[in-house]
Amino acid sequence: MAGPIKAKYVEKEHAVVDGVDISGHWNRMFEPRTIFEYTPELIEKVADIPGGESFANCYQCAKCIAVCPVDIVGNYGPRKLYRYAQTGMDLTEAPELWLCTTCKNCLRVCPKEVDMIQIMPAVREQAILTGKFVPPELQQAFENTAKTGNPLGQPQRKRDAWIQSAGVTIPIIKDVARPVDVLWYVGSYPSYHPRGIDAASAAARIFSALEIDFAILGKEEKDDADSQRLAGEKGLFEMMTEYNIETFNKYEWKELVVTGPHELNAFKNVYPKHGFERPVVHYTTFLARYLDRLKPLLKHRVEKKITYHDPCYLGRHNGEYEAPRKLLEAIPGVELVEMQRNRENGYCCGGGGGGMWMDSFTAKHTTMRLSEKRAMEAASTGANVLAVACPFEVSRFTDAVKSTGNEHVDVLDILELLDKSMRGE
Amino acid sequence: MNIVVAIKHIPSIADDLPVKGNNVDFDSVDFVLNEFDEQSIEQAVLVKEAVGGTVTVVGVDMIGELDGVLHLALAKGADKAVKITGDDPAADSHQQAKWLAEAIKGMSADIVFVGVQASNDLDGQIGPMIAAHLDMPYIGGVSSVEVTGETATVNKEFAGGVGAKYAVTLPMVVGVQASVKPPRYAPVSKVRQVAQTATIEKVAPSGDAGSGLTFKKMAPPVVTGHAEMIEGSSKEVAAKIVELLKSKGLV
């Protein structure tokens, strides 16, 4: 980062302007103060990128800093980025470009609507297209998604291998060959990650027990790439979107149910711009509708003190705070406690906006992982279960409870907790 | 400077390899760019960026899906793309080397890059054979290339961490083990833009030069042994390892 521009002497005891003596109190400002002498060039550079416009709105009130999850473990936040740009930081090539998780808490409190959810992807895209620094681990996730259809780099043919271990029949829509009520989009992590598969299997058992008429895409399902979009790879997102919309539209179904909040965000909020406007719900919203039928199935007590982590893309981005809590409260034996930061002010796990694939990079620029901060917050409630509703979170928090010495806190998806109560395991 | 990169499109081994008859079931396997060719494309583009010139990427179109690979190479900095319409998924490295060499002959190449080997045959023969057909020197196992005037300085890796630096008078063929920098990422929007605007030159395969080998049988390897996990504290594990080594007469 370039150093600040040296300020000129600005305060005078006596001043004469155009022959008129305008001397006044010793501290009256006759010439621009230091702050105004910085060049707006690097702020304009960001604001000139389509999507980056609102960056220039910032009037430095710093409300965002109090809620920015990255600032809580580092020195960051929209207001600071603006100031850094004033003092010589080119955001297109600064490490700061990659720290934002697009959690949206800053936008929630910003009086000037400085919108990092638009700014970050736009500037990141610019950086990627012009060959600037991009964290290598993120590039790997992009490359995996482009090559194999998922950020984990797993073979497409194995996308539905997990269904063998679910213990119930999981229909593949291609084989069903008739319209279904629910097309369940499983998602990449629930399809491939071992802990994700646990949640997917639990979901399959719950859907079956509720006698939902559902099917999955199986080997035809590919990643939503929403987080890749927010990390700046818009072209990749568009490529995946074209494929996904074509695949969704090949079959007849009434509602699309997704396991992950990021998929919800993609299909519900972004796909309409690409011509796909069909009903999409997160599994928590969907299952909460079936509470009357679900409750009698929850036969076994789960004697746990549970705290629930609001995923940014389910809560702040899509306004769903109550359904997950209703589901947890429906489980007999459960005591639900809240963390200090919850609902609209929920603390980000660090996985959004591409953060999922920049863990080692982010770790170099923060004092601890966001997931670790949150795991400690969960443990401080006295809870012995941290319940989650986003497939990114199970693996992130499982690592975080270990690394912060809170192994006594189990990290479980709400699906797994419902399944436990259903089956008594 | 005319820089040429000869690439291979090979069956993906990301998944279990399907077998049909006595060869790979080419109809039910994905084809991917040979991993070493990703390194070789990067090294070629780095040389171009250092000394100027054009990079031409040439490959045999095995299953009619080479365009995607060529577009990716163009997005990464190659200037021209040529595909040899081989259309024979089973063409071996001897045959491909002949076709590639014939196509390269008209390109007045100053330097030809190839991936040092590919996972489908692992024989590492494409480079040396192209060099032989073109009557050029060949150095494989290369981890960096620098060109000054008519000379290329290449680092070749040997076993045991030993390396050697060679100065070679061009033209030559280089078998790339690793590029001096990791392969760059090509944004999808750039690749798609290239796909809409680029022209790929088509060349008919010329020359017959199969290895003369025929497959007798192809089958997954039989699993003969298994790993044993030793449980316990580090002291117990250490004691068991010592015991094992002694029982096998290794210490």
CATH code linked to domain A140-289: 3.40.50.1860
Q: Searching chain B, which residue's CA lies closest to the CA of residue A143?
A: B185
**B143 is in which domain, residue-wise?**
2-203
Predicted confidence (pLDDT) at residue A12 exceeds the cutoff of 70: no
Predicted confidence (pLDDT) at residue A98 exceeds the cutoff of 60: yes
Q: Is the ipTM of this complex over 0.95?
A: no
Nearest to A83 by CA among A101, A96, A67: A96
Indicate the range of A228-232, A255-259, B156-160 predicted with least confidence. Answer: B156-160
Pick from B15, B32, B187: CB nearest A128? B187
The answer to whether residue B188 neighbours chain A at the CB level (below 8 Å) is: yes
**What's the DSSP call for residue A87?**
T
Nearest to A104 by CA among A378, A393, A353, A366: A353
Which are the contacts of A18, defined by CB distance < 8 A and separation ≥ 6?
A: none
SS3 at position A137? helix
Q: What distance in Å separates residue A117's CA from the closest CA in chain B?
A: 20
Mean pLDDT value across residues B214-226: 83
Q: Do A233 and B188 touch (CB under 8 A)?
A: yes
pTM of the model: 0.86
Which helix (DSSP H) or strand (DSSP E) does residue A20 occupy? strand A20-21
* Partners of residue A139 in chain B, C-beta under 8 Å: 185
Residue B189: inside a domain: yes
Residue position matching structure tokens 């499982």: A398
Predicted confidence (pLDDT) at residue B151 exceeds the cutoff of 60: yes
Q: Which residues of A touch B (CB under 8 A)?
A: 125, 128-129, 131, 134, 136, 139, 142-143, 146-148, 153-158, 233-236, 238-239
Which are the contacts of A317, defined by CB distance < 8 A and separation ≥ 6?
A: A104, A261, A265, A269
Pick from A154, A157, A235: CB nearest B189? A235
Q: Do B187 and A147 touch (CB under 8 A)?
A: no
Task: Give the phi and the psi of residue B238 in degrees, each rounded to 5.
Answer: -60, -45
Q: Do A238 and B187 touch (CB under 8 A)?
A: no
Residue B211: inside a domain: no
- What are the domain boundaries of chain A? 1-32, 38-129, 140-289, 295-423
pLDDT at A11: 56
Pick from B15, B185, B191: CB nearest A155? B15
Pick from B12, B184, B187: CB nearest A129? B187
Mean pLDDT value across residues B156-170: 94
**What's the DSSP call for residue A341?**
S
Buried b (16+ CB within 10 A) or exposed e, A119-129: bbbbbbbbbbe
pLDDT at A14: 73
Q: What distance in Å separates residue B109's CA from the closest CA in chain A?
A: 28
Residues A25-76 have pLDDT tens digits of: 655 555 555 555 678 899 999 999 999 999 999 999 999 999 999 999 999 9
Residue B101, CB half-sphere, CA atoms under 13 Å: how many?
23
CATH number for A295-423 (one of 1.10.10, 1.20.1510, 3.40.50, 3.30.1370): it is 3.40.50
Residues A108-143 have pLDDT tens digits of: 999 999 999 999 999 999 999 998 999 999 999 999
Q: Give the Cα separation of B34 and B14 in Å (integer).
A: 12
What is the residue-wise DSSP string for A236-268? HHHHHHHHHHHHHHHS-EEEEEES-HHHHIIII
pLDDT at A25: 65
pLDDT at B220: 82
Residue B234: inside a domain: no
Predicted confidence (pLDDT) at residue B205 exceeds the cutoff of 50: yes
Q: What CATH number is given to the structural domain containing B103?
A: 3.40.50.620
Best to test chain B binding among A222, A236, A241 (most B CBs inside 10 Å): A236
Q: What confidence category does residue A6 fall into, taking pLDDT thresholds of 50, 70 and 90?
A: very low
Pick from B14, B182, B189: CB nearest A155? B14
Q: What confidence category does residue B172 fall into, taking pLDDT thresholds of 50, 70 and 90?
A: very high
Tally of domains within chain B? 1
CA distances from A199 to A168, A186, B26, B213 (A): 14, 10, 35, 50
Predicted confidence (pLDDT) at residue B159 exceeds the cutoff of 60: yes
Q: Give the Cα separation of A227 and B34 in Å (integer).
A: 28
Mean pLDDT value across residues A63-91: 95
Average pLDDT across chain A, whole number: 93
Average pLDDT across chain B, whole number: 93
Q: Searching chain B, which residue's CA lies closest to the CA of residue A127?
A: B187
Q: Give the Cα separation of A155 and A157 in Å (integer).
A: 5
Residues A355-414 have pLDDT tens digits of: 999 999 999 999 999 999 999 999 999 999 999 999 999 999 999 999 999 999 999 999
pLDDT at A416: 98
Residue B236: inside a domain: no
Percent of residues, chain A, with pLDDT higher than 70: 94
Mean pLDDT value across residues A254-265: 98
pLDDT at A121: 98
